[in-house]
């Protein structure tokens, strides 16, 4: 599917780059050191360049769309839609995933075990054509020319010193990935309660909800575990992660566990019938800000999500741990109070993560 280029978006006002220095991780308590690919080391200028590029609409075929179009800071780097909309207005089968603590993902996307780094993941929105997302396919040279300006070139040269062609699509990807690795969140009320021994950080209602969350009867932590409350993670010196994809019993269209034909989860990649409807469990950090829920945004609220799991899901292919459970209205409210305590307001308001040229 082709995409006609419109006139390039106007270049944004770009100051000269500061001196480049090695990047210093300032990790919140409770978070380990992220893994960084050896061919894309972190530096201050590269991160700053990546932040600019993350918000730059020139990084799309028609100059109307940026990474930030689908990953908005106020929504914990999702977009608040049930399903993502691409640069040409086409609707995606899946919702935009949160970039909260994306540096720790052991795989990327909703259901692709082959995407093991942020750099590799970016090829999907860049080149996907069914539907079009960023719409870069066939227009790579034009997009590189957009960043070959008098203002942009010094930034690329500083971030990729020694590269004979610093302005390249590959370096755009490396810079954005470096910035995305800095999107760390660990200052929620729950973090303050757990890691800083602040017993007043969350309400007693949320404390009761926390106990439900980690209980064997409810079993939420079976899929949302560890410091990131997610499926398997990767970080420096961690054991090799075991990739985890589960069928949450969201659909059973034919009595045999069928999911909608436009998205069958892991089965789209493996072609194995047993992988029908299997998706990766995302982080629950900032979950109250990322509605609607599930891979296709088909569940509107946290209360409805809890009800779905309480009923045990649908179909013969659902994960064996989905057995359903009894829960009262009071307990639902307690569980929601705990999930709300995972909201990190400093993360979604941190100016270091926002658009650097936004007025």
The model's pTM is: 0.95
Going from the C-alpha of 248 to that of each of 300, 324, 342, the distances in angstroms are 16, 11, 22
For 63-90, what is each residue's pLDDT tens digit?
999 999 999 999 999 999 999 999 999 9
For the purposes of burial, counting CB atoms within 10 Å of the CB of 298, is it exposed (0-12), middle (13-18) or buried (19 or more)? middle
Which pLDDT belongs to residue 4?
43
Mean pLDDT in residue range 122-134: 95
Q: Delineate the domains of the chain, giving CATH numbers in brackets.
A: 44-184+347-353 (1.10.760.10), 189-345 (1.10.760.10)
User: By three-state DSSP, how is residue 193 classified?
Assistant: helix
Going from the C-alpha of 189 to that of each of 45, 318, 331, 337, the distances in angstroms are 32, 33, 20, 11
CA-to-CA distance for 106 and 228, rounded, in angstroms? 12
For 180-189, what is each residue's pLDDT tens digit?
999 999 999 9
Which pLDDT belongs to residue 262?
93
On the question of pLDDT at 141 being above 80, the answer is yes
Q: Report the Cα 44 to chain-centroid distance in Å.
A: 22
The helix-helix angle for 329-340 and 302-311 (nearest 10°) equals 130
CA-to-CA distance for 281 and 284, rounded, in angstroms? 9
């Amino acid at each position: 599917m082709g995409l006609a280029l419109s006139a390039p978006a106007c270049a944004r006002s770009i100051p000269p780059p500061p001196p480049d220095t090695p990047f210093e991780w300032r990790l919140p308590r409770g978070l380990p050191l992220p893994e960084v690919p050896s061919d894309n080391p972190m530096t201050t200028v590269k991160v700053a360049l990546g932040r600019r590029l993350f918000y730059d609409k020139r990084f799309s075929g028609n100059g109307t769309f940026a990474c930030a179009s689908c990953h908005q800071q106020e929504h914990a780097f999702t977009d608040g839609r049930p399903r993502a909309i691409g640069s040409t207005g086409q609707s995606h089968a899946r919702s935009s995933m949160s970039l909260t603590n994306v540096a720790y993902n052991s795989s990327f996307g909703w259901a692709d075990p082959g995407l093991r780094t942020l750099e590799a993941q970016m090829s999907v929105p860049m080149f996907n054509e069914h539907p079009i997302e960023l719409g870069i396919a066939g227009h790579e040279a034009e997009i590189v020319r957009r960043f070959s300006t008098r203002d942009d070139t010094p930034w690329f040269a500083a971030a990729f010193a020694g590269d004979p062609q610093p302005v390249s699509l590959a370096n755009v990807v490396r810079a954005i990935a470096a910035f995305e690795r800095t999107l760390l969140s660990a200052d929620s009320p729950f973090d303050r309660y757990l890691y800083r021994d602040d017993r007043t950080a969350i309400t007693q209602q949320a404390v009761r909800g926390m106990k439900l969350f980690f209980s064997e009867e409810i079993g939420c932590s079976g899929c949302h575990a560890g410091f990131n409350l997610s499926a398997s993670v990767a970080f420096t010196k961690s054991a090799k992660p075991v990739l985890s994809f589960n069928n949450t019993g969201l659909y059973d269209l034919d009595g045999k566990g069928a999911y909608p034909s436009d998205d069958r989860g892991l089965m789209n990649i493996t072609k194995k019938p047993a992988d029908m409807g299997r998706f990766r469990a995302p982080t629950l950090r900032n979950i109250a800000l990322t509605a609607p829920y599930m891979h296709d945004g088909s569940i509107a609220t946290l209360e409805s999500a809890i009800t779905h799991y309480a009923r045990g899901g649908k179909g013969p292919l659902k994960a064996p741990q989905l057995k359903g459970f009894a829960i009262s209205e009071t307990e639902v409210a307690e569980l929601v109070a705990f999930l709300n305590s995972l909201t990190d307001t400093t993360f979604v308001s941190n100016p270091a993560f926002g658009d650097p040229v936004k007025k």
